[in-house]
Amino acid sequence: QVQLVESGGTLVPPGGSLRLSCVASTRVFSIYTMDWYRQAPGKQRELVATITSYGSTNYADSVKGRFTISRDNAKNMVYLQMNSLKPEDTAVYYCYAPSFPTSWGQGTQVTVSS
Protein backbone atom coordinates (compact mmCIF):
# COMPACT_ATOMS: atom_id res chain seq x y z
CA GLN A 1 0.00 0.00 0.00
CA VAL A 2 1.04 3.63 -0.44
CA GLN A 3 0.07 6.77 1.44
CA LEU A 4 -0.25 10.05 -0.42
CA VAL A 5 -0.26 13.50 1.18
CA GLU A 6 -1.16 16.56 -0.89
CA SER A 7 -0.30 20.17 -0.04
CA GLY A 8 -0.14 23.64 -1.54
CA GLY A 9 -3.80 24.48 -2.03
CA THR A 10 -4.99 27.96 -1.13
CA LEU A 11 -7.08 30.91 -2.29
CA VAL A 12 -5.70 32.51 -5.47
CA PRO A 13 -7.11 35.23 -7.74
CA PRO A 14 -8.12 34.50 -11.34
CA GLY A 15 -5.08 34.49 -13.60
CA GLY A 16 -2.82 33.48 -10.75
CA SER A 17 -0.50 30.52 -10.36
CA LEU A 18 -0.12 27.77 -7.79
CA ARG A 19 2.00 24.65 -7.36
CA LEU A 20 0.57 21.61 -5.65
CA SER A 21 2.79 18.93 -4.13
CA CYS A 22 2.22 15.31 -3.24
CA VAL A 23 4.55 13.04 -1.29
CA ALA A 24 4.28 9.26 -1.52
CA SER A 25 5.28 6.75 1.14
CA THR A 26 6.81 4.03 -0.99
CA ARG A 27 10.37 2.91 -1.65
CA VAL A 28 9.78 2.25 -5.33
CA PHE A 29 7.94 5.43 -6.25
CA SER A 30 9.78 5.80 -9.56
CA ILE A 31 8.06 2.81 -11.17
CA TYR A 32 4.52 4.05 -10.70
CA THR A 33 2.31 6.18 -12.86
CA MET A 34 0.89 9.09 -10.86
CA ASP A 35 -2.27 11.10 -11.45
CA TRP A 36 -3.77 14.36 -10.27
CA TYR A 37 -7.56 14.43 -9.95
CA ARG A 38 -9.93 17.15 -8.84
CA GLN A 39 -13.46 17.31 -7.53
CA ALA A 40 -15.53 20.46 -7.58
CA PRO A 41 -18.64 20.85 -5.38
CA GLY A 42 -21.54 18.86 -6.78
CA LYS A 43 -19.44 17.31 -9.53
CA GLN A 44 -17.76 13.99 -10.14
CA ARG A 45 -14.05 13.56 -9.55
CA GLU A 46 -12.17 14.10 -12.81
CA LEU A 47 -8.70 13.20 -14.03
CA VAL A 48 -6.59 16.31 -14.57
CA ALA A 49 -3.10 15.05 -15.41
CA THR A 50 -1.02 11.87 -15.58
CA ILE A 51 2.70 11.21 -15.52
CA THR A 52 4.19 7.78 -16.22
CA SER A 53 7.34 6.26 -14.76
CA TYR A 54 9.12 7.35 -17.96
CA GLY A 55 7.94 10.94 -17.60
CA SER A 56 5.33 10.89 -20.32
CA THR A 57 2.44 13.20 -19.53
CA ASN A 58 -1.19 13.60 -20.47
CA TYR A 59 -3.73 16.29 -19.61
CA ALA A 60 -7.45 16.92 -19.59
CA ASP A 61 -8.47 19.26 -22.40
CA SER A 62 -9.67 21.82 -19.85
CA VAL A 63 -6.14 22.31 -18.44
CA LYS A 64 -3.89 21.75 -21.47
CA GLY A 65 -1.41 24.57 -21.88
CA ARG A 66 -2.05 25.84 -18.34
CA PHE A 67 -1.13 22.95 -16.02
CA THR A 68 2.12 20.96 -15.88
CA ILE A 69 2.62 17.70 -14.01
CA SER A 70 6.12 16.69 -12.96
CA ARG A 71 7.86 14.32 -10.57
CA ASP A 72 11.02 14.09 -8.50
CA ASN A 73 11.68 10.39 -7.95
CA ALA A 74 14.54 11.05 -5.53
CA LYS A 75 12.10 12.80 -3.21
CA ASN A 76 9.03 10.62 -3.88
CA MET A 77 7.23 13.77 -5.00
CA VAL A 78 4.78 14.64 -7.75
CA TYR A 79 3.82 18.22 -8.54
CA LEU A 80 1.10 20.09 -10.38
CA GLN A 81 2.04 23.56 -11.60
CA MET A 82 -1.12 25.50 -12.35
CA ASN A 83 -0.99 28.76 -14.30
CA SER A 84 -3.66 31.12 -15.64
CA LEU A 85 -6.09 29.81 -13.06
CA LYS A 86 -9.81 30.23 -13.64
CA PRO A 87 -12.73 30.16 -11.19
CA GLU A 88 -13.79 26.83 -12.73
CA ASP A 89 -10.50 25.33 -11.51
CA THR A 90 -11.84 25.61 -7.95
CA ALA A 91 -11.88 22.11 -6.48
CA VAL A 92 -10.26 19.74 -4.06
CA TYR A 93 -7.19 18.30 -5.78
CA TYR A 94 -5.96 14.77 -5.14
CA CYS A 95 -2.93 12.86 -6.24
CA TYR A 96 -3.45 9.17 -6.93
CA ALA A 97 -1.44 6.08 -7.75
CA PRO A 98 -3.48 3.88 -10.11
CA SER A 99 -1.49 0.80 -9.07
CA PHE A 100 -2.98 1.21 -5.58
CA PRO A 101 -6.76 1.63 -5.98
CA THR A 102 -7.30 2.76 -2.38
CA SER A 103 -4.48 5.32 -2.34
CA TRP A 104 -6.67 8.43 -2.15
CA GLY A 105 -5.34 11.07 0.21
CA GLN A 106 -7.21 13.89 1.94
CA GLY A 107 -6.75 16.29 -0.96
CA THR A 108 -5.90 19.98 -0.94
CA GLN A 109 -8.41 22.77 -1.56
CA VAL A 110 -7.80 25.20 -4.40
CA THR A 111 -10.11 28.20 -4.59
CA VAL A 112 -9.84 30.63 -7.50
CA SER A 113 -11.69 33.81 -6.68
CA SER A 114 -11.20 37.55 -6.51
Q: What pLDDT shows up at residue 29? A: 85
Q: What pLDDT shows up at residue 4? A: 94
pLDDT band at 28 (very low <50, low <70, confident <90, very high): confident
∠ CA 99-102-103, rounded to 5°:
70
Q: What pLDDT shows up at residue 105? A: 87
71-99 pLDDT per residue, tens? 999 999 999 999 999 999 999 999 999 99
Q: What are phi and psi of 87, to 5 degrees?
A: -55, -30
Q: What's CA 12's distance to the chain center, in Å?
A: 16
Rounded Cα distance between 25 and 106, Å, is 14
Q: What percent of the chain has pLDDT over 90?
A: 88
